[in-house]
Structure 1
Amino acid sequence: MPITHLLYLHGFRSSPQSAKAQKMAALMAERHPAVRWWCPQLPPSPQEAMARLQAGIADWPAESMAVIGSSLGGFYATAVAERQGCKAVLLNPAVDPARDLASYIGEQTTWQNPGEHFFFEARFVDELRALQAGPLKVPHNYLAIIARGDEVLDWREMAARYAGARVRLLEGGDHALSDFDAHLPLILDFLRLA
C-alpha cells in the first residue's frame, strides 16, 4: 500500500531546517503533494516529544503511514514504528541515546540556529531510557541507512540493533549523510513513493 502520511523526525540539536528534512519536504511537495507531511520541531524533553508525536499522528492510518528519523530522530522513529506497526526509514539512528547524551546535560545550541539555546536536563536521560523499544516486532518494516564513517555513532551498534531489517551499510559516509541525495531512490522505493 502506498504511503499517505509521512512523519520526519530530526536529530539532537537539529530542527526541521536540517538539510535532509528540507530535501524531503521539497520532494514530497513536488512529487507527492497528496501525502500528508509533518516535520515538527521536537522539544528537548523526550517524554514531551513522544506525547506531541502521539497526539499529532493519533488519526493517521497505521497501514499507510511511515516515519523517517535521523540520529536521535531514528531512535524516536523506532519507538513510533513499534507502537504504530508502520514502516520506518532510519538514517544513522541513535541506538542508546540515554548513554550517549548523558554527557550533554546543560545548555545546548541548535545546529541550524546557533543563537537558539535550550537546556538538556538530567531527567531527559531517564525519559530516553523509558522510551527504549525492545526487539523489533516486524524487522522488514525498517530500512536503516548506516554509514561506517559516522563520526558520532558506532555503525556496528546500529547494524546489530537493526539486524533482520533492510540495511544499507555505506563504506564511508558521515553522520549527517552528506550524500543523502544518493539514497533517495532507495528510500522512496521502500516507502512505495518512487
Structure 2
Amino acid sequence: MQENILYIHGFNSSPLSLKAQQTRDYLALNYPETGFYCPQLATSSREAVDQLQSLMEGEGDSRWFLIGSSLGGYFAHYLAEKYARPAVLINPAVKPYQLLTDYPREQTHPYTGERYYIGDGELDALKTLESNISLKNNYLVMLQTGDEVLNYRQAEEKYQDCHLHVQRGGDHSFVGYQEHLPDIIQFFQLTLSAEKA
C-alpha cells in the first residue's frame, strides 16, 4: 500500500513555506518511496477541507499521515478524526474562529495575492470543524512556548493526554523544525506498526 504524507500549511501560508519545503526535501532524500503532498489551500476553510478530503479519497488504496502547522494543525486534527489517521500538529490553532476575530476582515494572501474577506460565515465554518480527540495515541503535538501568535497553553491543555512535546522558547514558526523530522517519521512508523499489530 502506498504511504503518503500530507503537509497542511497554515493561515495565509503556502507549499513554499520553509517547513513544507524542509519536509519535502527530507522525504525525497531519506524516504523517496513515500508520497508527499502539500496543496495550496483555498482561503475558505470549508473549501480547503474539501480540497484535502478530495485529495485523500482520490488516491485510492493509500495510507495517509498528516502534518499540520498552525491553522493547518486544526484542519489536520479534523481529518485525523474523520479518517482515523495519525497526525503531527506543529503549534496548532485550537480555536481559530476566536483568534481570527482580532484579524483585519479584509485580507490579501501574501503568496497568491488573492484578496478575500473573513466574514462571520467563515468563522462559523471554522467552528463546525472543531473536533474532539477519540484516539489520543494518534497525535504528536509539538509546541514552542515562545509562539507569538498562539497561546501554546491552549494546545497544551487540549492535547495533554496525547504525545506532547513542549519546547521552551522558539516562535510560531517552530524554530528548529527540521531537526525534529526524524522524530516525526519515527512517530508515523510506530503508529503504522500499531495498525499492523
With the length of structure 2 as denominator, give the TM-score of the two structures: 0.89
Residue 118 (structure 1) aligned with residue 131 (structure 2): no
Q: Shift of residue 116 of structure 1?
A: 1.4
Question: Which stretches in structure 1 are left out of the alignment for 5+ residues?
Answer: none
Q: What is the rounded CA distance, in whole Å, between the counterparts of 1:188 and 1:79 in structure 2?
A: 21
- What is the one-letter code of the residue matched to 1:174? D
Equivalenced residues, count: 189
Q: Shift of residue 142 of structure 1?
A: 0.4
Other-structure match for 1:8? 7
Residues 62 and 85, structure 1, Cα contact 8 Å, conserved in 2: no
Identify if the C-alpha distance between structure 1 residues 64 and 84 changes in structure 2 by more than 3 Å, giving closer, same or farther.
Answer: same
Q: Which runs of 4+ in 1 moved over 6 A?
A: none
For residue 159 of structure 2, the aligned residue among 136, 159, 162 is: 162
Residues 107 and 120, structure 1, Cα contact 8 Å, conserved in 2: yes
What are the equivalent positions in structure 2 for 1:2-151 lying under 5 Å apart? 4-60=3-59, 64-111=63-110, 113=111, 116-122=113-119, 123-134=121-132, 136-151=133-148
Identify if the C-alpha distance between structure 1 residues 107 and 165 changes in structure 2 by more than 3 Å, giving closer, same or farther.
Answer: same
- What is the one-letter code of the residue matched to 2:159? Y
Deviations, residues 62-120 of structure 1 (Å, cap 9, x unaligned): 98311000000000000000001010000000000000012325332344x3x713313
Residues 62 and 84, structure 1, Cα contact 8 Å, conserved in 2: no
Moved more, 29-38 or 122-131: 29-38
1:30 aligns to what SS in structure 2? Answer: helix
Q: What is the rounded CA distance, in whole Å, between the counterparts of 1:154 and 1:139 in structure 2?
A: 21
Q: What's the % identity of the aligned pairs?
A: 37
Q: What is the rounded CA distance, in whole Å, between the counterparts of 1:7 and 1:55 in structure 2?
A: 12
Q: What is the rounded CA distance, in whole Å, between the counterparts of 1:142 and 1:87 in structure 2?
A: 6
Question: Which stretches in structure 2 are left out of the alignment for 5+ residues?
Answer: 191-197
Residues 3 and 192, structure 1, Cα contact 8 Å, conserved in 2: no
Moved more, 178-187 or 58-67: 58-67
Q: CA RMSD in A?
A: 2.0
Identify if the C-alpha distance between structure 1 residues 137 and 107 changes in structure 2 by more than 3 Å, giving closer, same or farther.
Answer: same
Deviations, residues 134-171 of structure 1 (Å, cap 9, x unaligned): 2x100110000001111111111111111211011001
